[in-house]
């Protein structure tokens, strides 16, 4: 799952069967520092509670449709949660090696 | 699957049922030399990993559903191992 910022809403009256009642939102994908990354996308809101301005996380590809009540629907991006808090580890613990890394292919 | 480093936690009260009671961690993908690539994932943790840990991440829906016992399940990224050693020999 990746972070996204909800920018707006999309309304479509005529849509493929199974998509009735699903809320579509315009979402700007974000990187791990919550900065915009790539083009805005349209996501189905599986929480049914997200709104413009909110920080959310989304699941892409076929798993997007799996988040919805009807799983065989043409959806490839779904909002699966609204973020309360992101705790980024900035202390020495982050840089401390936790796995032995033996790289015999490297010259230096 | 890929090797990543846990760099943080993500907390969400409002989320889909598939993620109920699940711990979400922010994972940075590592390259062959153990350096962060800049790609990341918000992954479900099933091995009690924590910040700073080097982990093994599966990023595929069917495997994730199997591990979490979900059907349907809107999850792709799952932390399935804590890495002790990586050895690149060729």
ipTM over 0.85: yes
What confidence tier does B37 reach under pLDDT thresholds 50, 70, 90?
A: very high
CATH number of the domain that A8 lies in? Answer: 2.40.50.220
Please state, in angstroms and rounded to a whole number, the distance separating the CA atoms of residues B25 and B38. Answer: 16
Q: Which domain holds residue B38?
A: 2-82
The per-residue pLDDT for A94 is 73
**DSSP classification of residue A34:** S
Q: Does the residue A102 lie in any domain?
A: no
The per-residue pLDDT for B83 is 96
The per-residue pLDDT for B74 is 96
- Residue B10's DSSP bridge partners are A86, B24
Residue B28, token pair as written in the block: 């940075």
Residues 6+ apart with CB under 8 A from A67: A44, A46, A59, A78, A80, B16, B18, B74
Q: Does the residue A87 lie in any domain?
A: yes
The per-residue pLDDT for B90 is 80
Q: Does the residue B34 lie in any domain?
A: yes
The total number of structural domains in chain A stands at 1
Q: Does the residue B35 lie in any domain?
A: yes
Rounded mean pLDDT of B49-60?
A: 95
Q: Does the residue B89 lie in any domain?
A: no
Q: Does the residue B63 lie in any domain?
A: yes
Please state, in angstroms and rounded to a whole number, the distance separating the CA atoms of residues B16 and A56. Answer: 12
- Residue B3's DSSP bridge partners are B56
Å between A85 CA and nearest CA of chain B: 5
How many angstroms from the chain centroid is the CA of residue A34? 11
Residues of A in contact with B26 (CB under 8 A): 32, 86, 88
Q: Which domain holds residue A27?
A: 2-95
CB A75 within 8 A of CB A44: yes
Q: Does the residue B7 lie in any domain?
A: yes
Q: Does the residue B87 lie in any domain?
A: no
> Per residue of chain A (108 residues), what is the pLDDT tens digit?
999 999 999 999 999 999 999 999 999 999 999 999 999 999 999 999 999 999 999 999 999 999 999 999 999 999 999 999 999 987 777 777 788 988 887 765
The per-residue pLDDT for A107 is 66
Residue B11, token pair as written in the block: 């907390």
- Residue B46's DSSP bridge partners are none
Q: For residue A77, which of A91, A99, A96, A62 has the smallest C-alpha distance? A: A62
In a mutational test of the B interface, the residue from A6, A48, A56, A59 whose CB has the highest number of chain B CBs within 10 Å is A59
The per-residue pLDDT for A91 is 77
CATH number of the domain that B28 lies in? Answer: 2.40.50.220
Instruction: Report CB contact under 8 Å: A94, B88.
Output: no
Digit-coded pLDDT (tens) for B67-77 = 999 999 999 99
Å between A15 CA and nearest CA of chain B: 22
The total number of structural domains in chain B stands at 1
Asked if A4 reaches chain B (Cβ–Cβ under 8 Å), the answer is no
Please state, in angstroms and rounded to a whole number, the distance separating the CA atoms of residues B73 and A83. Answer: 19
């Amino acid at each position: 799952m990746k972070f996204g910022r909800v920018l707006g809403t999309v309304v479509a009256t005529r849509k493929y069967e199974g998509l009735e009642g699903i809320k579509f939102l315009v979402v700007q994908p974000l990187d791990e520092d919550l900065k915009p990354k790539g083009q805005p996308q349209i996501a189905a809101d599986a929480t049914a509670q997200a709104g413009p301005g909110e920080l959310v996380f989304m699941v892409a590809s076929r798993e997007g449709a799996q988040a919805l009540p009807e799983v065989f629907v043409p959806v490839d991006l779904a909002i699966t949660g609204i973020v309360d808090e992101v705790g980024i580890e900035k202390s020495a613990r982050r840089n401390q090696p936790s796995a032995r890394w033996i790289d015999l292919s490297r010259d230096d | 699957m890929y090797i990543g480093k846990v760099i943080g936690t993500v907390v969400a009260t409002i989320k889909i049922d598939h993620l109920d009671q699940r711990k979400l961690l922010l994972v940075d993908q590592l390259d062959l030399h153990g350096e962060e690539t800049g790609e990341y994932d918000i992954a479900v943790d099933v091995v009690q990993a924590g910040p700073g840990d080097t982990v093994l991440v599966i990023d595929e829906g069917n495997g994730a559903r199997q591990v979490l016992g979900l059907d349907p399940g809107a999850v792709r990224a799952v932390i399935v191992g804590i890495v002790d050693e990586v050895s690149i020999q060729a």
